[in-house]
Amino acid sequence: MRIEILQAGTGDSIWISHNKKNVVIDGGKSTIAIRTRYDKIPLDEIIDLLVVTHIDSDHIAGIIALVKHMKENGESHRLKQVWFNFPKKEETDEYSVAEGNELASLLLGIDGVCWNNNISELLDSTIEVGDMKLRVLAPDHDVADEYKPNNPDELGVYPEDWHVNLRTLIDNVDDDDMDEGGPNSQSIIILVECEGKKLLLPADSTPKELYDALLYYNNTNGTPLKLDFMKLPHHGSTRNVTKNILDAVTCSDFIISTKKNKKYRFPNKETIAKLLRYRKCADKAINVYFNYQDSLDVLGITADELMENNINLNVCNEFVF
């Protein structure tokens, strides 16, 4: 299994492939990376599953560009199945989410594509794509009719903590100011399993959505979810990572997907502090992988701090098992 965390700007775009099967999860804000990756797949392969986790532009913009690219090249038949929680209807004022409407219109114009717009129906099911097994952990209800545009005034200003000493952050972390709603709360959360490896992809899920999903999984299976990798939600935002979430999984390898985001100040340095403060075993090193060098560099964590806290920070956007 090959997992590629594409360099798609400040958003998410994940390409998973195994034995000629391809699963694409989000397209990022930058539209170049995903189109370039698509053009590399052999002619005898298709996109077996395309997932749009939610309608934020930094996840859906690249998908729109990809679908347009495929249609313009007469290759829309190479798109087999889509998961996208959005109304299957023509644009109306009621659903005035521009990019969601645009993608819906594109998908409705493709004959033969299987578009599932109520992913909650797949909850508790295991979907097989070749040897890859995908399990939907959230949402647990139909959200297709809940979408409304983001109100920029409600998004808030994220504090910049890049200049703060890591030890100071570790000693003072808290889960008081958390992400609570909007499209993030409707994110599709997916657990991917292949050849004994488990990868959790929570998109931009809110702490409540993610914790509830993990709690349900753990109660159903009788044990905390043991992961080989976990992509940290919402591009490493501290407002989407909590002690409860980290307690609900056993994991020491984490992924942060974003380039340095000056507007929202992602990734947050406090997120790294939370991994260290809430770790279950201080003797085991924590590994955090960034898909952009600048998102690692901006944190300003020194070699001495890495050694003192038994943590490794690396730039890597491809993992092969």
> Which residue type does 92 have?
T
- Six-digit token pair at 138? 């959230």
pLDDT at residue 180, as a whole number: 79
Of the candidates 255, 310, 232, the one whose C-alpha atom is nearest the C-alpha of residue 277 is: 310
Task: State the first-to-last Cα distance of the chain, in angstroms, to the nearest integer.
Answer: 5
- Six-digit token pair at 195? 């050849």
pTM: 0.92
DSSP letter at 19 equals T
- Six-digit token pair at 23? 């699963």
Provide the CA 44 distance to its chain's centre, in angstroms. Answer: 28
Of the candidates 133, 168, 141, the one whose C-alpha atom is nearest the C-alpha of residue 18 is: 133
Which helix (DSSP H) or strand (DSSP E) does residue 233 occupy? Answer: none
- Are 201 and 189 in contact by the 8 Å Cβ rule? The answer is yes
Residue-wise pLDDT for 265-313, tens only, equals 789 999 999 999 998 877 899 999 999 999 999 999 999 999 999 999 9
In the CATH hierarchy, which top-level class contains the domain 2-320?
alpha beta
- Six-digit token pair at 58? 């930094």
- Six-digit token pair at 192? 């991917």
In the chain, which stretches have pLDDT less than 70?
90-96, 144-159, 262, 264
The residue extents of the domains of the chain are: 2-320
Of the candidates 255, 252, 303, the one whose C-alpha atom is nearest the C-alpha of residue 275 is: 252
pLDDT at residue 92, as a whole number: 47
Q: What are phi and psi of 247, to 5 degrees?
A: -70, -25
